[in-house]
Amino acid sequence: MMSHVRALLLLAASLIASGADAQPREDRGAPMGRFDFYVLSLSWSATYCDLVGKRRGNAQCALGKNPGFVVHGLWPQYERGYPAFCTPGGRNPSRNAMDVGERVFPDAGLARHEWQKHGTCTGESPAGYFTAAGAARARISVPKQLAAPERDSRMTIVEIERAFALANPGLRPDMMAVTCKRGLLEEVRICMTRDLRSFRPCEEVSRDSCRVRDVTVPAAR
């Protein structure tokens, strides 16, 4: 009997530990420049605006400025976990750097936040980080059916993954994650090598894909 109870306790501890490990760990204050690969996070603007952005009065949510996918961030990653707010602390972006950032990100506030949390970990200057984010975005072809849809639609997670794979030779489902929120398409996150020239597998990131079968893709507005 005691051995049976002990076995159950060990199993429970294992499940708890595995569940904790499944959550990406933030390595706050890590040394800058030490990471394994990048994740380019593309946010579906209509979902962000419907759930948060309109209420906050974000400029990207004005009628006619809701284009589909926008750059959320370029994130340095470890194989497990990720660095954030790295040391030594990054300087605030200059006006010239922000000119670059505002051409890549949909909002100046988001550009500054992404620099502080993620850009400081790249080893790049603010302008260098924003330029790299722009280069990563230019590397990605958005599938035609997701470029700027005029009406709401339903797509399965597998359909979205396949569409991106077909539009981007070398990209596979194990190299990306399709996330959702409240049944709506939220983001597509694509894993790229440090030189941003190739896609690469990323088990921990890929596990973040939405678990539902299909999602609503709100129309671009």
**CATH number of the structural domain spanning residue 93:** 3.90.730.10
pLDDT value of position 41: 98
User: 4 in a domain, yes or no?
Assistant: no
pLDDT value of position 201: 98
Q: What percent of the chain has pLDDT over 90?
A: 73
- Domains identified in the chain, total number: 1
User: 15 in a domain, yes or no?
Assistant: no
- Tell whether the model's pLDDT for residue 19 goes beyond 50: no
Tokens of 216: 């609503």
CA 134 to chain centroid: 14
CA 33 to chain centroid: 19
User: 97 in a domain, yes or no?
Assistant: yes
pLDDT value of position 21: 44
Query: Which pTM value belongs to this model?
Result: 0.86
User: 67 in a domain, yes or no?
Assistant: yes
- What number of other Cβ atoms are within 10 A of residue 196's Cβ? 18
Average pLDDT over all residues of the chain: 88
Tokens of 135: 């280069």
pLDDT value of position 15: 38
User: 42 in a domain, yes or no?
Assistant: yes
User: 183 in a domain, yes or no?
Assistant: yes
Expressed as residue numbers, the domain containing 46 is 24-217
Cβ contact 168:174 at 8 Å: no
pLDDT value of position 5: 40
Tokens of 119: 């850009």
Mean pLDDT, residues 136-165 taken together? 95
User: 11 in a domain, yes or no?
Assistant: no
- Interatomic CA distance for residues 74 and 195, integer angstroms: 12
Q: Which residues of 102-138 are buried (b: 16+ CB within 10 A; e: fewer)?
A: eebbbbeebbbebbbbbbbbbebbbbebbbbbbbbbe
- Tell whether the model's pLDDT for residue 12 goes beyond 50: no
Instruction: Assign 22 a pLDDT band (cuts: 50, 70, 90).
Output: low
- Interatomic CA distance for residues 155 and 41, integer angstroms: 19
pLDDT in tens, 31-89: 999 999 999 999 999 999 989 888 887 878 877 766 799 999 999 999 999 999 998 76
User: 13 in a domain, yes or no?
Assistant: no
pLDDT in tens, 93-137: 999 999 999 999 998 999 999 999 999 999 999 999 999 999 999
